[in-house]
Structure 1
Amino acid sequence: MGEPKTGLVLGYGVAHPFSRVKLTDRSSVQELLRTLLDPLEPFFSPAKSRVRCPGATAVRFDQAAADLEGICRPLWGLSALLAGGGEYRGTEWWVQGLKSGTDPESPEYWGYPRDNDQRMVEMCPLGFALAVAPVFWQNLTEKERENVENWLGNSINEKNMPNTNWLWFRVFANLGLKKNGGKFSQARLDADIEHLETFYRGDGWSNDGPEGIHQMDYYSSSFAIQFLQLLYAKLAGEDEPARAAEFRKRAQMIALDLAHYYDREGRAIPFGRSVTYRFAMISFWGALAYADVELPAPLTWGMVKGIVMRHLRWWQTQHDLWTPSGTLSIGYSYPNTYLAENYNSPGSPYWACLAFICLAVPETHPFWTSEEDQAWSVIPAIKPLRHPGHIMSCLGDHCMLLSSGQACSYPMKGTHAKYGAFAYSSAFGYSVPTGLFSLEQYALASQLGLSDDGGEYWKSRRLSQYAGLETRGDDGVPVLVSLWKPFPDVTVKTILVPPREDTPNWHLRIHHVHAAGRDVATADGAFAIRNTHSVTGRSLDPYDPAATGGEGTSPRIIGNYDLNTPDGWSTGREGAFAAAVGAGAVGIKALEADTGRSANLVNADPNSNLIEPRTVIPTLQNTLKKGQSAWFVSAIYARPAVDGLAPSNYLDGWDKPPAVPSWLANEPGGTP
């Protein structure tokens, strides 16, 4: 990789330039992008075809493909910047990298892709760059153009690809060549789009795969499918006006659903895999403007701009997401490989540059000329989403989704946490397991765990035998119902009930557990929350608002080895909670009439949560004997810290949980 070069070095108390940009307009977002690109300079290879981001983390594909990620993924931002008339001092690095990387005689040649090769993914931002930024194609000789055609077009068109959103990557490889008069395959391009159309499920939603897979995460919107449909509508709309119109129509429909994923503070709801792509979560909104979509009422361009700008500003407050060299780390709010997928190399997080598609939008567009606004005042507070199997809530000062039925098409690391949890919050994030022993390692935030070995191994919901959006009661309350089996002879029916206007910080999880064939211990976890004092950094003390200023826990936080400490437990009806200044409060209570459950605070392993590296999870526990059945009605409290809310008020409402729904008496399985 050549001699090491000097660059940005972050030390104790040094803020990244990314955090110091005052975001107000288009030019400030351009500058924000430059602060992401600049730290990459020392990590370019001598011939500029590879970027080896710092970190020796291995990945499932070869090192050359990982280095290819490092150079290609930032192209999402750089090409959008150039397409919008912006400039960057290092553009020539990428031009030279394209030349040497596609040259078979270069020692830095990227290599032809094999079947299902990671190189295919990186062809997508490269194809987009060729389509929108003339500097890349115009600076190539005839021989260099032939090299690009052979590597970008011929090689990928001859290979097998995963039957997922990956097919869009081949579409854009061909489209980039087509826009420049290069050799491409119209037949392959058409066939891929026709097959991708079979993923469409309705109301704007596409599945990330064929029938039999239920996976509608950010890949279905901002990371890939919706995003790339909109780019395609913009770039190929003149040749295919009907298809472009259909893609824009789908975006209009799904926009009214996706508006529920972003809260007033600018945070998105982390859900599913690849959340290390971070601010790519809002790329859909910039793509709406880029593709000239007419917004559906009641959304306005001021609202769309507000979603994007507030989200970027929130990430500016996350000061620990960088490596010491100033590059993006693998993780979310801080470096964390526990949450990483096996395809996350040190260069992978730069898929986040999708967010900068807004820079390709002209400065005269109302996206840029409108005043920022909030969408919360015009979207429903509670909205069921049939296709992803969610109930969205914008109550209680955070965005939350209840979820049932989704699962990754293969059992990736932490898949039960990324798709099978009951609730996902923009304020508290989800937690992933760090190991395979004890609740502390499983970190079952927003999950019901069951153990048949006394609490070493735990099983939680991953695949459901049934999952559906239903209604209950005379007023037709939307609920999510799922049936699942943690063990072959243990059955769980779960009903998720969203918050109400009169109890906005509470939602209900109702479980009917039938332990037909074995004894099982159960553990129902609330959201995870930071367990350290905001000033001292020490573990939270028992709650005393007069003495702690609104920080503390009840019962006492127990450690990983003092599980039998009496003052670490309370009754299920008393529940357990934790409150931390700057984070808010979370808790859980048992509402069933004859509860045998007890409440405690699980001291989750460090680095299990996406947002906070040290967390505690209020949890209800008990044990069912073989042949027993039981109803559990868990009330989950979540009140995030927001401007204007005093810490002493974090627990306002904790003593007023919702009532057990009257309709529950009619559920099969007996009265809880």
Structure 2
Amino acid sequence: MHLPPEDRTRSPYTGWTRAHWEAAADGMLAAVRPYAGPRHALIDLPGPRPSWSGRRSDALEGYARTFQLAALRVAGAGGADPHGLMERYAEGLDAGTRTPTTERDLADGDLTSWGVITDRCQVMVEASTVALCLRLTRPWLWDRLDDGVRERAGRWLAGALHHEPHDNNWWLFPLTVGGFLAEAGIETDAARAAVERGLEKIEQWYLGDGWYTDGRPRAFDHYNGWALHLLPVLHAHLAGDAALTATYGDRLAAHLDGYAATFGADGAPVHQGRSLTYRFGTAAALWAGALTGRTPLTPGTTRRIASGALRHFLDRGALDERGLLTLGWHGPYAPLVQPYSGPASPYWSACGFLGLLLPPDHPVWTATEEPAPAERTDHVRALPQPGWLVQSTAADGVVRLHNHGSDDQPRDETLPDDPLYSALAHSTVTGPTTDLPDNHLGLEIDGEISARGRIEPLGAGPGWAASSHRPRIAGHPLPGTRITSLTLAHGADEVRLHVVAGAAPGTPVVHGGWAVPDEDEVVTEIHDTATGPVGRAVSRTGPRSQARPVQGLTEIRVLHSRDATAFGPRAAAPVLRGTTTADPCLFAGAFRLDGPGAPEPAAPPRVTIGPRQPTGWSVTVTWPDGTAHRATLAPDTVDVTETPAPPA
């Protein structure tokens, strides 16, 4: 990949301009070209394993998702196509939509055909992407096809209108196909009906303030940005529908108001949720806001966050030595890869190049970069709909997301915990381990630590978020047991409080802090200080984590993970332990995650806990600057007020 020189005048934070985005797109497209099969219909990328849909579906994915990158590149250049991208993808469309009939066709089709769209099949997803690409590049591809190719391709795409998607963001795939076919005059009634069905479906999942669930009652993650907001607002924009653009654009703007705060100063999005291998696809919603004029962000802030996200991953090994995107986060990392992901899946990240649709003279490309929210000042922001508390510090640019509302549990069953949803906290510089109880509180029964399962939010406000859950062992809830959890945050400090109700006295309790990564061994320390013992895990090149027992937690260990995380081959986390002494019982610990550049903490937060009353425990946390939180905790009940620091 050959990038132009950095421009630190226009882009003082990232150095990147539109020319860098164009060069990155060109480099990524050139890298996949050697893996195209006959007539460019299937792009069979190398990888560690196929997805559960099989290798042919994966190769169609290679065609469709790289087509999206090519479509944005050519449409953004007003049709200029010096590398002949549209010719190759047009040839692939012709070959892929042919149904074998003769032996000769069968021999050829066995190497090129895409198959047909059926209920809940991966082909429906890729058909959606193909339709969007055809819509974006219509003057330079679709309108130049022979009538027979258009008729056959339209018939193939129309299969998405007549088959059932999965009951989640997949409803937007027939919508996207329908949007294109309605414009092209193909099965217009069915196409319009698919658009209406998709919009009706997501309406059921919209909770307000810019947040959708994704088919499951409390599933919140990056799909809000790169699917549930992106596809409806892009359809409205391309259709020129002012009313739809107003509805979905206003929702997008509300989403971006909080979402922009979840990117760190190093460009990283928060490491939370599924399909994280889509990486800089997280920039799609930012560009969509600028494209439609529905964003609370200035043009300079939009480009700073989006360019920061793309550069973050390209600078940290997202592309392998062949220039191909890998299945992972920085480099390859198998534990975060879902079974539906194949070698070409990471190219969904092409939606992060949406900004190329904005002309070179648009302010989003010409304005001087401005700092991201995480770089401006320390802040703690509540996002009540997903049940999140977003905490960032300007000195190190680290963003922490405290989770008291998002899980991936279906409505009528409980699945094993996925730490990318179930953890108490996520960040831009850490990822979960596979073998430590990092960012988790659980009861230890016969050597097994209880899972969190379904999370029931209890609210979020200034500096706090709370939830409750029924702890589970081996997939079964512990009878009569509930854990009520409250996170208080200020600056880089956190106090986590938990009321355990229904557990027998003497039940062990385990509470892990942040697991910090490193290329080499993480330094672990336990110190006695004037304010009590503290356990620390310190990365030599990155973040540091510490934990202090406050109430009920009497033992500190700092444990090394046996396995890598998405951020490095080594990791360690401080872990606090205690036992229940009564029913209910209160546990509390003070935690902290710092990144490089952060000063040593002047003092820990001061926590005062009164004796248990009929209404619960009264807790006051006074932060080093004098700001205070006062909380009352009881099983399934939390009440919190914040008192600002006194004037200096």
| Same fold (TM > 0.5) | yes
Say which of 181, 190, 197 aligns to 2:203. Answer: 197
**Residues 395 and 499 of structure 1 are in contact (CA less than 8 Å); yes or no, is this contact kept in structure 2?**
no
Q: Which residue of 2 aligns with 1:529?
A: 516
- SS of the equivalent of 1:264 reads coil
Match runs of 1:438-587 below 5 Å? 441=435, 443-454=436-447, 457-464=448-455, 466-470=456-460, 478-486=464-472, 487-489=477-479, 491-500=481-490, 504-514=491-501, 516=503, 520-532=507-519, 537=520, 539-540=521-522, 552-555=523-526, 573-587=532-546
**Residues 572 and 599 of structure 1 are in contact (CA less than 8 Å); yes or no, is this contact kept in structure 2?**
no
Residue 601 of structure 1: how far off its partner (Å): 1.8
| Cα distance, 1:322–1:369 mapped onto 2, change above 3 Å | closer
- SS of the equivalent of 1:40 reads helix
Residue 630 of structure 1: how far off its partner (Å): 3.1
Output the CA distance in 1 between the equivalents of 2:380 and 2:50. Answer: 42
Q: Which residue of 2 aligns with 1:325?
A: 322
Q: Which residue of 1 aligns with 2:284?
A: 283
Structure 1 counterpart of 2:52, one-letter code: R
| Cα distance, 1:413–1:89 mapped onto 2, change above 3 Å | farther
Matching of residue 208 in structure 1 with residue 203 in structure 2:
no
Matching of residue 392 in structure 1 with residue 393 in structure 2:
no
Matching of residue 656 in structure 1 with residue 631 in structure 2:
no
Question: Any idea what the Cα deviations from partners look like across 1:87-146, whole Å, max 9, x if unmatched?
Answer: 362513322211111111333211112210011111222111111113331342111111
- Higher mean alpha-carbon deviation, 578-587 vs 356-365, is at 578-587
| Cα distance, 1:516–1:394 mapped onto 2, change above 3 Å | closer
Say which of 552, 565, 575 aligns to 1:619. Answer: 575
Matching of residue 104 in structure 1 with residue 126 in structure 2:
no
Say which of 72, 97, 100 aligns to 2:64. Answer: 72
Query: What 5-or-longer segments of structure 2 have no aligned partner?
Result: 8-14, 101-108, 611-617, 621-631, 638-648
Q: Which residue of 2 aligns with 1:227?
A: 230
Query: What 5-or-longer segments of structure 1 have no aligned partner?
Result: 1-15, 434-440, 541-551, 557-568
**Residues 518 and 567 of structure 2 are in contact (CA less than 8 Å); yes or no, is this contact kept in structure 1?**
no
Structure 2 counterpart of 1:619, one-letter code: V
**Residues 267 and 311 of structure 2 are in contact (CA less than 8 Å); yes or no, is this contact kept in structure 1?**
yes
Structure 1 counterpart of 2:210, one-letter code: G
**Residues 83 and 133 of structure 1 are in contact (CA less than 8 Å); yes or no, is this contact kept in structure 2?**
yes
**Residues 327 and 337 of structure 2 are in contact (CA less than 8 Å); yes or no, is this contact kept in structure 1?**
yes
- SS of the equivalent of 1:467 reads strand
Question: Any idea what the Cα deviations from partners look like across 1:53-90, whole Å, max 9, x if unmatched?
Answer: 11141322132211111111122221111111153625
- SS of the equivalent of 2:573 reads strand
Residue 619 of structure 1: how far off its partner (Å): 0.9
**Residues 339 and 414 of structure 1 are in contact (CA less than 8 Å); yes or no, is this contact kept in structure 2?**
no
**Residues 470 and 478 of structure 2 are in contact (CA less than 8 Å); yes or no, is this contact kept in structure 1?**
no
Q: Which residue of 1 aligns with 2:141?
A: 136
Q: Which residue of 1 aligns with 2:38?
A: 46
Residue 18 of structure 1: how far off its partner (Å): 7.5
Structure 2 counterpart of 1:402, one-letter code: H
**Residues 77 and 354 of structure 1 are in contact (CA less than 8 Å); yes or no, is this contact kept in structure 2?**
yes
By percentage of residues, which structure has more strand? Answer: 2
Structure 2 counterpart of 1:424, one-letter code: H
Structure 1 counterpart of 2:218, one-letter code: H
Structure 1 counterpart of 2:633, one-letter code: E
Residue 668 of structure 1: how far off its partner (Å): 3.0
Residue 484 of structure 1: how far off its partner (Å): 2.7
Output the CA distance in 2 between the equivalents of 1:378 and 1:295. Answer: 19
Q: Which residue of 2 aligns with 1:63?
A: 55
Matching of residue 668 in structure 1 with residue 601 in structure 2:
no
- Higher mean alpha-carbon deviation, 55-64 vs 270-279, is at 55-64
Q: Which residue of 1 aligns with 2:588?
A: 633
Output the CA distance in 2 between the equivalents of 1:311 and 1:590. Answer: 36
Matching of residue 28 in structure 1 with residue 20 in structure 2:
yes
Q: Which residue of 2 aligns with 1:256?
A: 257
Question: Any idea what the Cα deviations from partners look like across 1:477-534, whole Å, max 9, x if unmatched?
Answer: 533232332342363433333422xxx22111111224535964332111111255xx
Output the CA distance in 1 between the equivalents of 2:388 and 2:192. Answer: 38
- Higher mean alpha-carbon deviation, 198-207 vs 365-374, is at 198-207
Q: Which residue of 2 aligns with 1:419?
A: 421
Structure 2 counterpart of 1:365, one-letter code: H
Output the CA distance in 2 between the equivalents of 1:18 and 1:489. Answer: 60
| Cα distance, 1:158–1:570 mapped onto 2, change above 3 Å | farther
Output the CA distance in 1 between the equivalents of 2:499 and 2:166. Answer: 38
Q: Which residue of 2 aligns with 1:601?
A: 558
Output the CA distance in 2 between the equivalents of 1:125 and 1:517. Answer: 54
**Residues 252 and 295 of structure 1 are in contact (CA less than 8 Å); yes or no, is this contact kept in structure 2?**
yes
| Cα distance, 1:413–1:573 mapped onto 2, change above 3 Å | farther
| Cα distance, 1:176–1:18 mapped onto 2, change above 3 Å | farther
Output the CA distance in 2 between the equivalents of 1:43 and 1:21. Answer: 31
- SS of the equivalent of 1:394 reads strand
| Cα distance, 1:494–1:17 mapped onto 2, change above 3 Å | farther
- SS of the equivalent of 1:74 reads helix
Question: Any idea what the Cα deviations from partners look like across 1:199-236, whole Å, max 9, x if unmatched?
Answer: 22212222212xx6111211112x20111122112111
| Cα distance, 1:668–1:252 mapped onto 2, change above 3 Å | closer
| Cα distance, 1:404–1:528 mapped onto 2, change above 3 Å | same
Question: Any idea what the Cα deviations from partners look like across 1:412-443, whole Å, max 9, x if unmatched?
Answer: 99743111111111122x2153xxxxxxx2x3
Output the CA distance in 2 between the equivalents of 1:586 and 1:87. Answer: 50
Question: Any idea what the Cα deviations from partners look like across 1:551-581, whole Å, max 9, x if unmatched?
Answer: x32049xxxxxxxxxxxx9999413112223
Q: Which residue of 1 aligns with 2:370?
A: 373
- SS of the equivalent of 2:246 reads helix
Q: Which residue of 2 aligns with 1:361?
A: 358
Structure 2 counterpart of 1:479, one-letter code: A
Residue 243 of structure 1: how far off its partner (Å): 1.5
Output the CA distance in 2 between the equivalents of 1:35 and 1:352. Answer: 14
Q: Which residue of 1 aligns with 2:407?
A: 407
Residue 328 of structure 1: how far off its partner (Å): 1.1
Structure 1 counterpart of 2:464, one-letter code: P
Output the CA distance in 2 between the equivalents of 1:414 and 1:31. Answer: 43
Output the CA distance in 1 between the equivalents of 2:342 and 2:4. Answer: 24
**Residues 524 and 619 of structure 1 are in contact (CA less than 8 Å); yes or no, is this contact kept in structure 2?**
yes
- SS of the equivalent of 2:418 reads helix
Say which of 346, 349, 371 aligns to 2:346. Answer: 349
Residue 664 of structure 1: how far off its partner (Å): 2.3
| Cα distance, 1:27–1:477 mapped onto 2, change above 3 Å | closer
Structure 1 counterpart of 2:31, one-letter code: P
Residue 258 of structure 1: how far off its partner (Å): 1.0
Output the CA distance in 2 between the equivalents of 1:129 and 1:366. Answer: 25
Sequence identity percentage: 23
Match runs of 1:109-120 below 5 Å? 109-120=113-124
Structure 1 counterpart of 2:547, one-letter code: I
Structure 1 length normalisation: TM-score? Answer: 0.81
| Cα distance, 1:279–1:658 mapped onto 2, change above 3 Å | farther
Structure 2 counterpart of 1:446, one-letter code: N
Output the CA distance in 1 between the equivalents of 2:485 and 2:517. Answer: 28
Output the CA distance in 2 between the equivalents of 1:26 and 1:419. Answer: 34
- Higher mean alpha-carbon deviation, 610-619 vs 409-418, is at 409-418
Match runs of 1:275-314 below 5 Å? 275-291=276-292, 293-296=293-296, 299-314=297-312
Output the CA distance in 2 between the equivalents of 1:267 and 1:54. Answer: 26
- SS of the equivalent of 1:451 reads strand
Structure 2 length normalisation: TM-score? Answer: 0.84
Say which of 160, 175, 186 aligns to 2:179. Answer: 175
